[in-house]
Amino acid sequence: LQKLVEQSFFNLKNQKNAELELAKKCRIYAAGCRKRNKIEEAEIHESLAAKYSK
């Protein structure tokens, strides 16, 4: 999904929805990383979530 979003594969409306969905998935993954004490990986995905939630 990240590759498609970065390539602007979707039309304008769907692009924004895809970005929001990607941000949601990144937050979920980051929470799992924190739970498993993978702090660096969690921070990477949290920054991606912040990037795409705007």
Domain ranges within the chain, ordered by starting residue? 2-52
pLDDT for 52: 95
pLDDT for 15: 96
pLDDT for 3: 96
Residue 53 DSSP label: T
φ and ψ at residue 3, rounded to 5 degrees? -60, -40
pLDDT for 25: 98
C-alpha separations of 10 from 5, 19, 20 in Å: 7, 10, 13
5: CB partners within 8 A, 6+ apart = 15, 18, 19, 22, 52
pLDDT for 49: 98
pLDDT for 54: 81
pLDDT tens per residue, the chain (54 residues)?
A: 999 999 999 999 999 999 999 999 999 999 999 999 999 999 999 999 999 998
What is the spatial distance between Cα 53 and Cα 21, in angstroms, rounded to a whole number? Answer: 9
What is the spatial distance between Cα 32 and Cα 44, in angstroms, rounded to a whole number? Answer: 13
